[in-house]
């Protein structure tokens, strides 16, 4: 009797699976549901970790990897495609800028990372600006309508360069880094205060993704209660936060999983239109700096930030610092 029930259930689940697939194909053919496509420019350590994480989370139907080193992009694409082949139909390919066309999101990760000598990410500016300008010129032609996420460091200045060069709406071109800083902030607080990361709310970092980052202490709740940080705790946590990336680069040469995971949280918010509040770098008033915004299909909508006097002062200082490094798009 039980075996009969199981056989019948199995048959129905097969039929349901078949119908679901047919319905899905029909809807795609009739353009009822859109395929989600993400391109990642740069197939190095961070680009490949980002593409891998997108594939594992199953949030896109197609992932395109582009790198000046075409063989590297091809190898990474094959490896990532095989990592999901038993569980999903996600297409993972290497290509050039023609293949980027039609992307919903483009993540720019190519360029030089920090090495042993660059302590401030701004020191990468001279090394990466011409390269990013060249990529932005290409995206202007092939990625119209896409949301661009600029990750290459210094990500705030690079984001402004991408936005100026493409001429795309400020809301559609986001610099990445503050969300990673915010994840690090949460992890450091949890260690210092001996609580679980998921008990912490409102731990955001805005301003520069760099030395002038602004951790916001005044809105943090732990277990639902506003926490008041001592001056000593604030100073210790801020110091640990500023060194967080450096500690990892010193040990293993680069940061990969932390940034990749937070980049993909941002990509997911766009693709799924979640409108969740995320810290992102947006061009406003002559510089791209990290602010809080609702991120969804149309890009990032800035929200009102409740900053105490110290937070506002540090934020203005960060904006001024970034503006001082602005590069021309011509
Ligand atoms: N914003 C953040 O939070 C964050 C976090 C980590 C790393 N980063 C930055 O991301 C960038 C990449 O870091 P990584 O560790 O992956 O470096 P990597 O050296 O491993 O990879 C860089 C890749 O870019 C490719 N590349 C170079 N020029 C190119 C071009 N013109 N077109 C296409 N591809 C090109 C290289 O071939 C290489 O594969 C660095 O600038 C790093 O500082 C930013």
pLDDT > 70 in the chain, percent: 93
Ligand 1 atom closest to the CA of 155, numbered from 1: 1
| Nearest CA, atom 43, ligand 1 | 113
pLDDT digits (tens, 9 = 90+) for 271-285: 999 999 999 999 999
Q: Which pLDDT score is estimated for 35?
A: 92
Per the CB < 8 A criterion, the answer to whether 284 and 157 are in contact is: no
What pLDDT band is residue 177 in, cutting at 50, 70 and 90?
very high
Q: Work out the pLDDT band at 6, boundaries 50, 70, 90.
A: confident
Q: What is the model's pLDDT at position 15?
A: 74
Q: How far is the CA of 276 from the centre of ligand 1 (A)?
A: 27
On the question of pLDDT at 16 being above 90, the answer is no
pLDDT, one tens digit per residue, over 93-145 is 999 999 999 999 999 999 988 776 777 888 899 899 999 999 999 999 999 99
Q: How far is the CA of 21 from the centre of ligand 1 (A)?
A: 38
For residue 299, what pLDDT band results from cuts at 50, 70 and 90?
very high
Give me the mean pLDDT over the 259-275 stretch. Answer: 98
3-state secondary structure of 193: helix
Asked if 227 is an active-site residue, the reply is: no
Residues 6+ apart with CB under 8 A from 305: 206, 291, 292
Atom number in ligand 1 closest to CA 254: 15
pLDDT of residue 61: 97
Percentage of the chain exceeding pLDDT 90: 81
Asked whether residue 253 carries a pLDDT value surpassing 80, the answer given is yes
pLDDT of residue 210: 95
Q: Whose CA is nearest to atom 30 of ligand 1?
A: 68
Residues with CB under 6 A from ligand 1: 41-47, 66-69, 72, 109-114, 124, 128, 131, 135, 151-153, 155, 176-177, 180, 209, 254-255, 259
Residues 189-205: tens digit of each pLDDT: 999 999 999 999 999 99
Q: Give the pLDDT score at 330.
A: 75
Q: What is the pTM of this model?
A: 0.91
SS3 51: helix
Instruction: Give the ligand 1 atom nearest the CA of 66.
Output: 33
Neighbour count for residue 261 (Cβ, 10 Å)? 16
Of residues 324 and 24, which shows the higher confidence score? 324
CA-CA distance, 148 to 284, in Å (whole number)?
16
């Amino acid at each position: 009797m039980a075996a009969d029930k199981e056989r019948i259930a199995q048959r129905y689940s097969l039929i349901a699976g078949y119908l679901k697939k047919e319905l899905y194909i029909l809807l795609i053919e009739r353009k009822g549901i859109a395929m989600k496509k993400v391109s990642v420019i740069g197939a190095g350590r961070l680009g490949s970790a980002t593409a891998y994480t997108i594939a594992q989370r199953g949030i896109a139907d197609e992932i395109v990897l582009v790198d000046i080193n075409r063989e590297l992009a091809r190898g990474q694409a094959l490896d990532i495609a095989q990592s999901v082949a038993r569980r999903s139909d996600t297409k993972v390919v290497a290509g050039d800028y023609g293949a980027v066309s039609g992307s919903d999101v483009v993540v720019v990760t190519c360029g030089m990372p920090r090495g042993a000598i660059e302590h401030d990410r701004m020191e990468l500016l001279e090394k990466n600006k011409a390269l990013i300008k060249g990529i932005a010129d290409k995206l202007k032609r092939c990625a119209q309508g896409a949301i661009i996420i600029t990750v290459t460091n210094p990500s705030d200045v690079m984001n402004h360069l991408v936005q100026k060069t493409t001429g795309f709406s400020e809301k559609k071109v986001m610099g990445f880094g503050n969300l990673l800083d915010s994840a690090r902030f949460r992890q450091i607080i949890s260690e210092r205060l001996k609580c679980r990361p998921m008990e912490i709310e409102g731990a955001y970092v805005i301003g520069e993704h760099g030395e002038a980052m602004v951790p916001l202490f005044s809105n943090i709740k732990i277990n639902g209660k506003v926490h008041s940080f001592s001056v000593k705790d604030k100073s210790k946590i801020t110091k640990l936060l500023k060194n967080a990336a450096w500690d990892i680069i010193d040990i293993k040469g680069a940061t990969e999983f932390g940034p990749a995971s937070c980049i993909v949280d941002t990509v997911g918010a766009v693709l799924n239109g979640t409108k969740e509040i995320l810290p992102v770098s947006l061009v406003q008033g002559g510089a791209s700096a990290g602010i809080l915004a609702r991120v969804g299909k149309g890009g990032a909508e800035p929200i009102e930030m409740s900053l105490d006097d110290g937070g506002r002062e540090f934020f203005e200082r960060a904006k001024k610092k970034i503006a001082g490094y602005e590069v021309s798009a011509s």
